[in-house]
Structure 1
Amino acid sequence: MQLIELEVNQFRQFRKPLRLTELQPGLNVIAGPNESGKSTLVRAIRAAFFERHGSSVVTDLQPWGDSSAAPEISLRFLWQGESWHLHKRFLKQKRCDLHIENQHWSGSEAEERLAALLGYEFPGKGVSKAEHWGIPGLLWIEQGSGHEISGAVSHASEHLQAALGDTLGELASSGGDRVVDAVTAQLAELQTKTGKPTGRYAQLVQTSREQAEKVAVLTERVAQYRSEVDQLGLLVQQQAADEQQQPWLEYRRRERETQQALDQVARLQQQQEQDLQLQEQCGNTLRLIREQIAGFKHQLEERERREQALANATANCQALEQHRQEAAADQQRAEQEHVVARAQLSQVREQVQRQQQASERAALQARLEQLQPQVETAMRCAADVADWQRRLQQSQLPGADLKQLRQSRITLDQVLARQQQAATRLEYDLSNGAVSLNGHTLQGKGAQALTQSAELDLGTLGRLRILPGGSDLGELMREQQRLQDEYALLCRQLGVSDLNAAEQRQEQAQLAERELASAQTRLAGLAPQGVAALEQELADCQQQLAALPELPTEAPRQLTDISLHQAESLFAAAEQQWRQAEQRCRDLQQQLLAAEREKTTAQAELSRLQTHIADLHSQQQEQGLTDQLRAQLDIAQTIQQRLSERAEQIAAARPDILRDDRLRFTRTAEQLEQAFAERKTVIVGLRSALQALNAEALEEQLAVARQAAEQSVQRLHEVERRVAALSLLKDLLAEQRQALTRRLQAPLQAHIQHYLRLLFPQADLLVDEQLQPRQLVRQQAGGAINDPLETLSYGAREQMGLISRLAYADLLQAAGRPTLIILDDALVHSDNQRLDDMKRILFDAARRHQILLFTCHADKWQDLGVPVRQMQQLTGGL
């Protein structure tokens, strides 16, 4: 079978016709990026064969968003020297036509003939699924399903059996099945298919396990009993020794001795604290005496400083008085200069004010002359803006409503066009008379499109009733009426008679919008802040001009040559100099007053200090403090000596070690007493437990349990030997059956090995009774490696799946059945080396079969010896 041409129209992404022509009998490579339409072409081929033309559930074939589309597919292919042409249309005006040379079939008859030819079935209802696809489902690999072979072979098994004759029937009816079934049934009574025990076998396993567990428990309890007897003897011996020796009493004695040593150290520490307090009191007394002696010395030094301070204060007062007199003279000169500068500044300011008033009046007058015509022009522009705004509001239509009206008109026109296309066309040529059609007279030449039933009055000859055909005509009439009502409603909502009137109003609105923008631009140039702001500016200008004071009529005083800035600078300098002179006088006066107060204070303090020093009693007091100092130093030395000696005694006693020893002896005594009491409790408990265990006769129970366990194990071994014998027999029968299977399936195996040798020279791909590839056997240095197909990598399973499909194709071709191989992005998981080997396999298979290979990796398929056809070139005209 050779596909020659494929054409699709209104099919998914192909809204316009697309043709794939000049397909070659061998390899055909069609390449393109993702979403370019490769899988859509594959879906079109599948739909042409697998989907019934009358199905209403294949809406996925329509272009997205276009529910009115009628997907069409046209195929041309060769089979047994004859040209076949298949044309299908779905959903709208459904039809199916099959032409073979001069023969023609249509509808379901054509579909059934194709199904019988290619070997597939149609579903009872709904869309076609994988279980209906038969042989094409096996040979046509969908994107991402190249590794899945089991399901496809299962769905095509009946057609493969037909190609093999009665091979599978011979296997199914062989006499060995009865023996295999009997062995399998007996084995099933003892174990499951996964090898797990069941029935009597499982009961024996469970009983043996329970008996073994019972023996283990009893053995453990006997061992525990013996261990506890030994433990009881040891505990009784230890308890008797402790009861006689009472070792905790020794630690209690040592605890008391340690506490006595700690009490002695505590007494020493208490005496140490008392001496430390005496030492602190002695230190305070010494510090007070030394401070008093230092005070006497400081008074003598202070008298010398006071005499020097009085001399300095007297000299300072004399110098400040002289400086004050000089500053008063400077202040008087600065004040005179300030009066002259102030008069000059007043004259300059009056002159500048006259000039500013004249300049401001001239500027306001010029601005007033400019604003008056500008306001008049702006008011005219504002009137134009208001007028165009009114026109725009009257003519403007909402953009969304106008767009909806346009779309409604387009849809209505399309329905009318489809209605005219589907309507019955009546052409007439009445040269010598006239007839009546639905009450309207027809004469001369012309044509009428009839969309509904009509009566043609032939006069004396009678009447003709014309019924237009087409299943969609009634639906188109209803659609037309609905669209006309919708169109009329939109026109009424917009206040127009039709779409042309709406378009004219929209043009008027656009004109008004342009004129409005132009007027607004002119108005913005004349009055950026608005006409009201411009009028307010005019009124403010007039008000400011009226508010300006009249210029004085009397003649101005004599003009000066200096500027206002210069006059202000001279005045500020004179004022600053005057204030500085005034401040300096005040500062010198305050300094003089402060110096006189300091001089008076120094005289008073010197007088008081001289009186205190002259007192003879102070000298006698100083001598007594010296004697007290010597006595306190002797006392402090004695206290320090006692503290040092006692500190050595405390350090030698190590009170921290004594406290640790006391704690250690206390805890040891408590632990020994507690252990003695706890051991006594444990002994009582052990004696009670041993009495209870002895009453159970554990030794006798263990002997009985061991005997029962041995019997259970013996019976279990008998059943296990039977299971092993049945399993061995079943395996031997399976081997014999496999040998028969290999002999009967030799043709298929030969085709598989033909391709497999190009990929794995020393490997075998084994198939099961149902012609399913199951295991890949590869020969290596260490021996044969058997890999189930499902354990191989994704890429390896994809390669084995393609090889198997090519072998099935060879088998079908040898049986005289048509073959067509379609690969949609196959072998994408193969590495470069494996891909090269698979290309050799495809090139070899292309000698016998037509192969359509769709790929998004054009660069990987350049070396197949055939041109790579690009989807961009096929869809360039769409």
Structure 2
Amino acid sequence: MKIRAIRLENVRRFTDPVEITGIGTGLNVLAAPNEQGKSTIFDALHAVFFKDAKSWDKDIRALAPRAGGEPRVEVEIERDGSCYRLAKQFQKASGKGDLRIWQGDHLYLQSDAAEAWLQSLIKSPKEGGPSGLLWVRQGLTNFADAKETLAARQDLMSSVAGEVDSITGGQRMDAIRRDVRQSLDRLVTSRGAKKGGALDQAMHEVATLAAREEELADKVRELRGQLDQRQDLRRALTDLQDPETQQSLEARLRQSQQELQAAEQYQEKLTVAEQALRTATLVLDNHNSALAGFLARRKDRAEAEQALSVAAQTLKQISEVLDPAHAEAEQAEQVLATAKAKTQALESRLAQMQRAARLEQAADQRRALQQTLKQARSVMQQVAALKAQMEHGPDKAAMERIETARDTLALAAQAQQLGAFALTVT
């Protein structure tokens, strides 16, 4: 038996499905930093091969994730040239777990028969099975009886120790070191892989194969999902082809048809009831609308009556105030007419008095102007006399009299201008 692939789900930190594929014949190394789940994978393998699916002991409980869930482990193995896929599902309810084994697309075994077949693959060291040294789980063997495996482990350790001693001493070790150095020189240099060497070609080939492996892994996952779906469909088809299942389905179909017929009849009654309900609802809506209108009109009428009563009281109060006001208004109109007549008479008299005052003022101004004109004429005569005297040679006294007369004339002219009669007509 050879393990080819491992798939975990709901196992400790692996709540989402995780898969390890590409396990080949020979030495396989699983390398990862601490706390990345390497021990979890080996514990899951231990559970698949050495724990019953219906068990829920402390080892299985320790596999359950903290977030909750039931562990599921799938392992692909190769035995006698045939490939098998083991799927073990552990459940919290005791006795509810299940193991199923597929050979290709065909469900090979399940439940107790699958457990018996799996146990037949696992042999103790007395029967030729692996010794504890070759199956180590965190420093412990995977077998309950350590005494059974002690002798096998001791024999194996002795043989290994002898081989180590024979190699590590003498010229044999020097030859091995020379061979190793020559082999390394063919493969690497101080800067890395030797260009064009076997290691360089192998690294390129590994990179190419890794890319190809990733593509094929995606395809394998896709095909596996399709195979699982196909197997589920086949199981469903098998269940459907079972005579008892078909009879049960036919009975359920007849019962469903009867229930459907009863439901359709009930639906017809329900439709009629819904139609009657809609009609009643419309009638109720009309009645409610009419009632609302009636209530609104009654409310408006009450408000109008109240407003009419208030208006009548207000009108009565206004009438009581308005009648005396009419009498006072008539008296005021009479007084106003009398006042207007008196005002017109006073305005006429005032206009006469203003005209008389202007005429009297004009007469006073005229008399003043006449007196000023008379004085001016006298001055002019004096000026004329003085001019005649000037022609005959005026003396100093005559010049003084002329200057005085000129000043007097200028004053008279100013006085005439200031006291001139002015008439303004509007």
What TM-score do the two structures reach when normalised by structure 1?
0.17
With normalisation by structure 2, the TM-score equals 0.34
Q: Which has the higher contact order (CA 8 A, sep 6+)?
A: 1
Q: Work out which of the two has the higher radius of gyration on C-alpha atoms and give 1 or 2.
A: 2
